[in-house]
Amino acid sequence: MGNRYFLEVTCPECGLHDDDVYYAPTCGITAWECPQCRTKLDLEKQTGISKEDASNKEVIKFLCDKMRLSE
């Protein structure tokens, strides 16, 4: 589990603008396909946000460990 992002993307091929692109790298949603010309964009390359950057695994683990200790 991790952070999710809503992005604005402009297709480099046809210029279509999409202001509601969902990017959730920890869930495997890492690409966008232009609905007009079918050009595919790698959203990690476009944003510079990797799966590791978006992950909150360590925070969740810390909170779970803290809860276990307080029981």
Specify the pLDDT at position 57: 67
Specify the pLDDT at position 71: 65
pTM of the model as a whole = 0.72
Give residue-wise pLDDT tens across range 4-20. Answer: 899 999 999 999 999 99
Specify the pLDDT at position 58: 73
Region 51-66: mean pLDDT is 73
How many domains are there within the chain? 1
Judged against a pLDDT cut of 70, whether residue 1 lies above it is answered with no
Its domain, for residue 61, covers 5-70
Report yes or no: 56 and 1 within 8 Å, Cβ to Cβ.
yes
Mean pLDDT, the chain, integer: 87
CB neighbours of residue 25 within 10 Å = 21
Q: In this structure, what token pair is assigned to residue 49? A: 């946000």
